[in-house]
Amino acid sequence: MNPFINLGIRHDIVNAITELGFENPTPIQEQSIPVLLTGSNDFVGLAQTGTGKTAAFGLPLLELLDFEENFPQALVLCPTRELCLQITNDIKNYSKKMSNVHVVAVYGGASISDQLRQIKRGVQIVVATPGRMLDIINRNAIDFSRVKYVVLDEADEMLNMGFQEDIDNILSTTPDEKKTWLFSATMPAEVRRIAKKYMTDPYELTMGTKNTGNANIEHEYYVVRARDKYAAFKRIVDFNPDIFGIVFCRTKIETQDIAEALIKDGYNADSLHGDLSQQQRDKVMKRYRERSLQLLIATDVAARGIDVNDVTHVINYSLPDEIENYTHRSGRTARAGKTGVSISIINAKELGKIRQIERVIGKKFAKVDIPTGFDVCEKQLFSIVHKIHNVQVNEQQIEQYLPRIMEEFKDMSKEDFIKRFASIEFNIFLDYYKNAPDLNAPVEEGRRFERDGDRSSYPRSGGKSEYTRLFINLGSVDEFNRGDLLGYICNQSKISGRSVGKIDVKGVYSFFEVPHADVDKVTAGFNGAEFKGRPVRIEIAGEGVSERRDGGYQRREGGYRGDRTGGERRDGFRNNRGGAERDGSGGGFRDFSGKRREEHGERRRRF
């Protein structure tokens, strides 16, 4: 018997989900379904995407609503169009053996009249992004006065995207007695605040420790010199011939540039960012889902809600501005119980940020060396061997050519033949990686960049040179302004207000400057401090978030411009693309044509 029955899910739903391959509940389903089925709790679930949370709330909704009635009884709010469609589709799948279940997806960028028509026909479950939902409410086109359940999915993302006010307005049209179920991958102060605002005594469920990423994700970092970043990135990709990855960049321009450079270098890559039209984005996503693309280069915003299974690697080409975003990025891999790797390519100055992320996700990163040229060649060779071994032979098509092929090879031993066959691609790599330099940058962790290291060399934000800039995890959302924060710092650390330099109050964190000589006193003063039950964290600001934001981001630091070659390669790649796409496996090196070899010849010249 399917264990979902024991959780209290009825047969027709269990039959439908069994067909979807749900044989056992995921941990979040196991723990939340019995609670949510009571229908009497507000609920906060701290869980990543990919953990099965859609069914965790979707199945209880299907149990609790009255489908003989055709008015909105449940509202699911989520941050993106992609997620909205995904949830709608999932709920429709779970309920495909039930009758009269009407679910409507309400999202921007699509015809509103279709959505209005569906609502008018009668729906019980509305899955919506906040902007379009509010638009429909403002047209008086929906009545939420009998809504019993509101789900806030990926609440942290919705707040990141500035939907707080829209959510307030939408929820004000729902009855006070409704139950609210909130799901979030991370629990920053803003989410804590909305949980408090909309819920009474919610049942809280944390999968893993707070803010912890999925346990199936391995976190790795590589340290390179800025100028070697692109070359190192390519080497990592070449070292993973079966990679199916999402590469995160910080800006649209960087995203576009990296994608273009990769395409020119013969990889199956494309970019996803906010400057693309919805149609263009859909097209890129379709190709990625179908695995015609092997690498999707994306900004944080554009990649929100991407739900593609089997992503093997997330690559942080640039670390995210906000640490919370690291969790979102890495959560794109290791979905549905699979494993995955989240790679960060950093320069030595960013080590402090890796340590900060480690603290937030509660997991250690492994420092990995950039593979040598030889390592890559070896890895590719065995990948080729594996592919040759497992290739599907089209007996019918090849048969007619076999006599001629046999004739060609008649004077060759099996060993010779295999050697030659495998060498076709292997030689390309040997050529390309001949004399490849070591791309690992020296790291002097603990001396320059660790918190308790040599502070005087720590990068600073500008301002008075005798000051050290400190980070504190409190900000305007905790209702601090500069004056309040100054008072709080002085009170806590027993230093004079006059000695505090510039104070920058941000949303969930702030920065302030204190004389170098006072740093220890301030850190000691905050040791063990709590603010409204939450530990207060003080750190020396590295070249993190706001430094880049304030100081402006310098693109092309990876130096890939120099790696590029002209249009010739692009043409070559295009000519080969059809085959590559059909193949749908392996790296940018799978083509055996002469044209391709030319490309690799160019590669070689770049070293």
Q: How far apart are CA 441 and CA 459, in angstroms?
A: 19
Question: Helix-strand-coil percent breakdown of the chain, rounded to 5?
Answer: 45, 15, 40
Residue from 51, 80, 330, 342 binding ligand AMP (CB under 6 A): 51
Q: Is 541 in the site for ligand AMP (CB under 6 A)?
A: no
Task: Verify binding: residue 55, ligand AMP, rule CB under 6 A.
Answer: yes
- Measured CA to CA in angstroms, residue 443 lies from 224, 448, 547 at distances of 9, 9, 21
Does 31 interact with ligand AMP (rule: CB under 6 A)?
no
Select the span of 44-52, 201-209, 240-248, 359-367 touching ligand AMP (CB under 6 A).
44-52
> Is there binding between residue 335 and ligand AMP (CB under 6 A)?
yes
Q: How far is the CB of 93 from ligand AMP (least distance, A)?
A: 8
Q: How far is the CB of 26 from ligand AMP (least distance, A)?
A: 5
Helix 11-19 with 81-94: angle, nearest 10 deg? 120
Tell me, what amino acid is at 26? T
Q: Specify the DSSP class assigned to residue 364.
A: P
Quick one: how far is CA 376 from the chain centroid? Answer: 26
- Does position 21 interact with ligand AMP (CB under 6 A)? The reply is yes
Closer residue to ligand AMP, CB minimum distance, 4 or 317: 4
Nearest approach in angstroms of CB 154 to ligand AMP is: 10
User: Assign residue 463 a region: left if phi > 0, alpha if psi is -120 to 50, beta otherwise?
Assistant: left
Query: What's the closest the beta carbon of residue 16 comes to ligand AMP, in angstroms?
Result: 12
Burial of 10 (0-12, 13-18, 19+ CB in 10 A): middle
Residue in 50, 213, 371, 587 binding ligand AMP, rule: CB under 6 A = 50
Q: Is residue 25 involved in binding ligand AMP (CB under 6 A)?
A: yes
Q: Which residues contact 212 (CB under 8 A, 6 or more apart)?
A: 361, 362, 363
480 to 519, contacts with ligand AMP by CB under 6 A?
A: none
Q: Which two tokens stand for residue 413?
A: 């031993």
Contact between 350 and ligand AMP by CB under 6 A: the answer reads: no
**Binding flag, residue 38, ligand AMP (CB under 6 A):** no
Question: In angstroms, rounded to a whole number, what is the distance separating the alpha carbons of residues 262 and 265?
Answer: 5
H or E segment and range at residue 75: strand 74-77
**Could you tell me the smallest distance in angstroms from the CB atom of residue 51 to ligand AMP?**
5
Quick one: which H or E segment has residue 433? helix 414-433
Sheet with 313-316, edge to edge strand ranges: 269-272, 295-298, 245-248, 313-316, 340-346, 217-223, 366-367
- Tokens 């290791």 belong to 334
Using CB under 6 A, which of the segments 19-27, 434-442, 450-458, 552-560 binds ligand AMP?
19-27
Binding-site member from 52, 245, 373, 572 for ligand AMP (CB under 6 A): 52
Cα–Cα nearest to 202, from 236, 262, 155, 245: 155
**Of 440, 424, 318, which Cα lies nearest the Cα of 373?**
440
Selected from 26, 124, 344, 576, the binder of ligand AMP by CB under 6 A is 26
Binding to ligand AMP by CB under 6 A, coded x per residue (else -) over 296-325, reads: -----------x-x----------------
CB nearer ligand AMP, residue 78 or residue 505: 78
Nearer to ligand AMP, 5 or 517 (CB): 5
Total site size for ligand AMP, rule CB under 6 A: 17
To the nearest whole angstrom, how small is the minimum distance from the Cβ of residue 85 to ligand AMP? 12
Nearest distance in Å: CB 239, ligand AMP: 28
Q: State which amino acid sits at residue 392.
A: Q
Q: Which parts of this chain interact with ligand AMP (CB under 6 A)?
A: 21-22, 24-26, 29, 49-55, 307, 309, 335-336
